[in-house]
Amino acid sequence: MILANAFCLFFFLGEEFYEASPYEPVTSRLSDIFRLASIFSGTGADPAVSAKSNHCLDAAKACNLNENCKKLRSSYISICNREISPTERCNRRKCHKALRQFFDRVPSEYTYRMLFCSCQDQACAERRRQTILPSCSYEDKEKPNCLDLRSVCRTDHLCRSRLADFHANCHASYQTLTGCPADNYQACLGSYAGMIGFDMTPNYVDSSPTGIVVSPWCSCRGSGNMEEECEKFLRDFTENPCLRNAIQAFGNGTEVNLSPKNPSFQATQAPRVEKTPSLPDDLSDSTNLGTSIITTCTSVEEQGLKANSSKELSMCFTELTTNIIPGSNKVIRPSSGSCRARPPAALTAVSFLMLKLAL
């Protein structure tokens, strides 16, 4: 009885580790955006020229050339950099709202280039990390416990749905080529960008140009007996092969070329036990079952035993259609080499008796 009550208490007070995403699954691909990313990142160009380029700076310049992108980017930069008081460096709630408007209203061909640009040096990587103005939108005086941060996020229906969507589209899958569910990079990148502007906002943890590590602003310190669950939750960000591969692939402009999910293999034909003559060119494969019968009839005709070939062939095809076992592809072959059916034994005896009487 005590165990049953304890189970019920855990069921009502505990939280599900993963929740179902309320959004429709993303089925489209990022082929066009990956192609643009490939052009802007310099993939295929001179490696020396590409190495000197700051792709994150190029992405910011491209945003400034688009009126909508420039307007909304300037808006969140202004809000997130506005100091409220000496003790309060910004209005975090307004900063988050401005960031959500930017990522929701600006086409991904601009926002993704700023978030996931590839870098060859630390200056570029630092610009990438500063994209969301982390001093206001991301960092805080102290890091809260990740499970506590998850609980706070789940009290807000929109943050809760975005987190569930991230887990649905970015959880590591070891049964796919890319490490992503259904090999869909776009779904993962979109879910990641969708969490920016909430308490669970993720960002790059450092300015390393080589290693890509992202995380929410939290730690597992003070987790108690929930430390294992907390570490598992945090690893979904920090050690996530799907998310890492998606970011690297977009930054390099190298979308994975996937083979069909259900490739059609050519079936190997089993060796035939009995050899049959080849069909004429004008006969379809549907006549395979009667090949030997047709050939036999033709040979009888060629021997001159029957002059009426049309009647003989008619008998052959009649025999072919009546000797197929219902529900099977097997044909009952006649026991004689000729297509003509043998005369009944009684008829043969009567003919022999009449011949004898006549003599």
pLDDT (tens digit per residue) in 226-256? 999 999 999 999 999 999 999 999 988 765 4
Sign of CA dihedral 237, 243, 245, 246: negative
Give the model's pLDDT for residue 326.
Answer: 41
Tokens 């004689």, residue located: 336
Do 137 and 95 touch, CB atoms closer than 8 A?
Answer: yes
**DSSP structure class, residue 120:** S
Domain boundaries, the chain: 54-252
pTM score of the predicted model: 0.64
Q: Read off the amino acid at residue 344.
A: P
Question: In this predicted model, what pLDDT tens digit does every residue of 3-29 receive, in sequence order?
Answer: 344 333 333 345 677 888 887 776 655
DSSP code per residue over 116-138: S---SSHHHHHHHHGGG-HHHHT
Q: Per the structure block, which two tokens stand in for 285?
A: 């494969």
CATH of domain 54-252: 1.10.220.110
Using CA atoms, how far apart are residues 353 and 359, in angstroms rounded to an integer? Answer: 10
Residues in the chain: 359
What is the reported pLDDT for 22?
80
The pLDDT tens digits of the residues spanning 263-289 come to 333 333 444 444 444 434 333 333 343
